[in-house]
Amino acid sequence: MDHPENWRKAEAVFKKYGGMLRTSRAIALGVHPRILYGLRDSGRLQQVSRGLYRLTDLPELGNPDLAAVAARIPQGVICLISALAFHGITTQIPHQVDVAVPRGTKQPRIQFPPIRIFRFSGPMQKAGIEKHRVDNIEVHVYSAVKTVADCFRFRNRIGIDVAIEALRLFHARKKSSVRELLEYARLCRIERVMMPYIEALQ
């Protein structure tokens, strides 16, 4: 079972699918658990998080936390402070990954990296989703303009100062038009909250 040829075949499966796979997916693709753990114990596979492995000879991960969360919570969307950091419109350093999931979704079970779950519903959950390729994993992230509006909506959880800073950096870097910002403010039902801050930028 542990013949080097079996190891090479397993590594080829990982390479075919971008170098990173969940345990269940690897087994479904024909990688025997014993081979999987043998590759891990030999250092050929790196455990990114519980149940998620990547080939160690791949280039270093650019954003392992986002890639790991996207792989473990495929219905999730990176939001709020994590999305601000992704778009470069905050000075905050995320200490967990902020993830939006549809209201009614079961609590995701993931031990690492630490996550903070936000439940979105209806148009607020579906609007403004961008798809990015991060370390060969498709990651869903809210757009910069949608994220700024979300920050004002969740200002009581993340802090109004974080939302205001994001708006200022967003405006300074011309990430989008004020008109589009107002559209998302209306969608998130925080137009009256945001208007004074938007007017102060004019």
C-alpha triplet 154, 78, 200: angle, nearest 5°: 45
Output the pLDDT for position 129.
95
Q: What count of residues does the chain have? A: 202
Alpha carbon distance, N-terminus to C-terminus of the chain = 68
Output the pLDDT for position 47.
82
Q: Is the Cβ–Cβ distance between 170 and 161 less than 8 Å?
A: no
Q: What H or E segment, with its residue span, contains residue 49?
A: strand 45-49
Output the pLDDT for position 60.
58
| Dist CA 96 CA 86 (whole Å) | 13
Instruction: Give pLDDT < 70 ranges for the chain.
Output: 1-3, 59-62, 111, 175-176
Retrieve residue 22's tokens. 């969940």
Retrieve residue 148's tokens. 């700024």
pTM of full prediction above 0.75 = no
Q: What is the pLDDT of residues 120-164, one digit of tens each?
A: 988 888 999 999 988 778 999 999 999 999 999 999 999 999 999
- The secondary structure of 143-168 as a DSSP string is -HHHHHHHHHHTHHHH-HHHHHHHHH
Give the strand order in the sheet containing 77-78: 115-120, 97-102, 77-78, 137-142, 129-134
Output the pLDDT for position 115.
87
